[in-house]
Amino acid sequence: MKKIISILTIALVFSASAYAQGFLGKSEVHGSFETDAMYYQADDALGITDSLINGNVFGFNAFADIIYTLGDFSAGFRYEAYLPPIAGFERSLEGQGFPYLWATYTTGKFSFTVGNFYEQFGNGLTLRTYQEWTLGYDNSLNGARIVYEPVKGLLLKGVYGTQRYYWSKFEKNGRGIVKGFDGEININDVFTGLSDSKVRLIIGGSAVSKYQSDQNPFYKLPKNVAIFGGRFNLGIGKFNFSSEYAYKINDPSAVNKYIYKPGDAFIFSGSYATKGLGIFAQFKRIDNMSFKSDQAVTSNALDINFLPPLIEAHTYMLAAMYPYATQPNGEMGFQIEINYKVPKKSKLGGKYGMGISINYSQMNDIAREKANDTAYIGQSGTMGWKSDFFKFGDQIFNRDLTVEIDKKFSRKFKSIFKYIYQDYDIATILGHTGDPNVKANIGIIDMTYKITSKKSIRWELQGLWTKEDKGDWAAILVEYTVSPHWFVSIADQYNYGNKHSYEQLHYYTGSFGYTLKTTRFALTYGRQREGVVCVGGVCRQVPASNGFSVTISSSF
């Protein structure tokens, strides 16, 4: 029976395709795939012994994503396999299947999607589903979405569904059902008299609710939890302001340790931008805003909303040693950034000009007081705490000062200089209980020399100096590239300042890669230090490892 159905399906699709080719000729297919494979070796200095590996020498993550379009109709799927997942990825991912299947039909002012989809309302404070392959993160909604644009400048969205939780299927009384609505209006588009105004205003609002049955034996939990958000974006000439506020009714969960306090979040950003100069400032406050479709889950999964970490994100090896992650139970802070381009042919700028960028960001805890006399702060089953909206807490989670200068000295030689100061609450963010804040100075020089029009060589010299945690580090990287196909690089990170001499290790790696249009192959051999990899606000712990890794990626 199954076979007959399969054959029939194939026949149907083929004939439909043939029909499409004959009469419409609009059918399009494209997609992408990637495989990441690791081979692990024992490394006694890293504490990885043969018995610890215990035969598990391979890690393998792969996906294939295909999109089919026929006029106003499109559909697609993604196949994923983790056999078993690479070290550092969530073990629950082990397995294979099709976690992402969807179809969308767009007609005039409407667009309908069924199956799995990704959506973001505003900044994501009320709802954001997304996928990040490098982290193994996917909280897609499985259900239905309608997008409606009745007139230009007015956009309405409705979503309904349940979220992906690795490979486990949705079951009644399991994780919650999510419903959401979002509306956004561009005043200058809708009111035609304002279309030429120098003042541009966009206003938006959203409401999201989660229904989950109460399975908790100790607390009476609300079955329905709602979250509301309002936002605007205001442009006045060279100035731009945007803000969003979101409010969540009480939602006791494992993340906030079952307190009954409502939560809220606020972001305000302002910028001034003119030719060669950009100034940016931002304020942020979060109070008890974790919102997941299962109250009992604490891991990086089933998030309905997104709380962006508003701290400079670093990518250089040593600068990325202490990455910040949003503290959903409470944080407040600000960020200031100036980008300036010293003009060409000026005294400082030289022939090519020079870029200067300065960023300062700070994130503190919020100030908390007892909610009432009989309960301690954060006590389960109570209102948790009271907090003054405008008062910073004493505890510093993260401070970061980054100064970057990039300068082109000649047609062949250019360089980036970077200084970073970090003050990092390793106890709160990485769970190293009892450890003092890490205060680190970091210096980076990145130089590129163009040997010919296609060949170039790049060096990075980096140093990280701190009295805390693992002490001082030095790092070097040399990379040789031949455009558009080849690269070879070697790098070493050396923990020379570790107070234990047996932990003064070299973390060396060698890589080479080949790119042909959109197909990329890369092979890396070496040691990976224990650390945290963060992309877009979600982080995963990566254990120390030694071995080979191969990545093949392609799209068409």
- Residue 148, Ramachandran bin (φ over 0: left; ψ between -120 and 50: alpha; else beta): beta
Catalogue the long-range contacts made by 493-502 (C-beta closer than 8 Å, 24 or more residues apart).
Answer: 493/317, 493/318, 493/529, 495/470, 495/471, 496/472, 497/465, 497/466, 497/470, 497/471, 497/472, 497/473, 498/470, 498/471, 499/471, 502/45
Is residue 401 at the binding interface for other proteins, with CB under 8 A as the rule?
no
When the beta carbons of 11 and 45 are compared against other proteins, the nearer one is 11
Q: Is 448 in the site for other proteins (CB under 8 A)?
A: yes
| Cβ count near 57 (within 10 Å) | 13
Residue with Cβ nearer other proteins (478 or 535) = 535
**3-state secondary structure string, 401-443?**
EEEEEEEECCCCEEEEEEEEEEEECHHHHCCCCCCCCEEEEEE
CB of 124 to other proteins, least distance (A): 5
Distance, CA of 140 to CA of 131 (rounded, Å): 7
Query: In the complex, what is the shortest distance from the CB of residue 429 to other proteins, in angstroms, rounded to a whole number?
Result: 16
What are the phi and psi torsion angles at 22 (to 5°)?
-65, -45
Site for other proteins contains 462 (CB under 8 A): no
Based on its alpha-carbon atoms, the radius of gyration of the chain, rounded to whole angstroms, reads: 26
Helix ranges, 20-49 (H): none
Stretch that binds other proteins, among 338-346, 362-370, 433-441, 497-505 (CB under 8 A): 338-346
User: Does residue 395 belong to the site contacting other proteins (CB under 8 A)?
Assistant: no
Report, in Å, the least distance between residue 335 CB and other proteins. Answer: 8
Interface positions, 189-228, toward other proteins (CB under 8 A): 189, 200, 202
512 binds other proteins (CB under 8 A): no
In the shown chain, the binding pattern of residues 19 to 38 toward other proteins, with x for contact by CB under 8 A and - for none, equals: -xx---x-xxxxxx-x----
Q: Which is nearer to other proteins, 269 or 437 (CB)?
A: 269
| Residue 123 in contact with other proteins, rule: CB under 8 A | yes
Q: Which of 183, 222, 350, 355 binds other proteins (CB under 8 A)?
A: 355
Any contact of residue 345 with other proteins (CB under 8 A)?
no
Residue 499 burial by Cβ neighbours in a 10 Å radius (0-12, 13-18, 19+): exposed
Q: Could you give the CA distance from residue 195 to residue 237 in angstroms, rounded to a whole number?
A: 14
504 binds other proteins (CB under 8 A): no
Whichever of 456 and 462 has its CB closer to other proteins, that residue is 456
272 interacts with other proteins by CB under 8 A: yes
| C-beta atoms surrounding 175 within 10 Å | 22
> Residue from 253, 282, 290, 362 that binds other proteins (CB under 8 A)?
282
Of 47-55, 251-259, 274-282, 437-445: span binding other proteins (CB under 8 A)? 274-282
Which residues, 289 to 308, sit near other proteins by CB under 8 A? 306, 308
